Amino acid sequence: MSDMTEDRDLTELRRGVLGPCVLALLEERTRFGLELVRDLASADSLLTSDGTVYPLLNRMRDAGLVTSEWRDELRERPRRYYAITAAGRRHLAAFRAEWPRFSATVSEVLRSPAFAVVSDDR
């Protein structure tokens, strides 16, 4: 597998799991943009670039999974806070229910000798 393909696979993988991770953080409490980015970045290798979180947040807002609002709170600059919606909680619950089985299946396939042979043949 070439480095480029490898990078693309990892990028797609991160893109797929980032949304549920955002929802999990927002389930805990509302967060503003930079706070959310920093919390995600603190999880090793989850984010390749901070900026990509914002298009994701907008897509999730359009899908009704999160809401956002600006709050002033007497600071020099206002902050845009994001919160999970009821639909977002249902989406997260469904992902949480599926993830252990899915990740276990993938781990099992990756460990299998048959998969290693196929991989080496490429």
Give contact residues for another protein (rule: CB under 8 A).
32-34, 37, 41, 48-52, 54-59, 67, 69-72, 76-80
* Alpha-helical regions (H) of 29-85: 33-42, 53-62
C-beta of 107: minimal distance to another protein in Å? 28
Q: In the complex with another protein, which residue's Cβ is closer, 79 or 89?
A: 79
Q: In the complex with another protein, which residue's Cβ is closer, 54 or 115?
A: 54
Q: In the complex with another protein, which residue's Cβ is closer, 29 or 96?
A: 29
C-beta of 88: minimal distance to another protein in Å? 16
Q: Is 106 exposed, middle or buried (0-12, 13-18, 19+ CB in 10 A)?
A: exposed
H or E stretch covering 109: helix 86-111
Q: Is 9 exposed, middle or buried (0-12, 13-18, 19+ CB in 10 A)?
A: exposed
Q: Which residues pair with 32 in a beta bridge?
A: 81
Q: In the complex with another protein, which residue's Cβ is closer, 75 or 101?
A: 75
- Backbone conformation region of residue 110, classed left if phi is above 0, alpha if psi is from -120 to 50, else beta: alpha
C-beta of 86: minimal distance to another protein in Å? 16
C-beta of 42: minimal distance to another protein in Å? 12
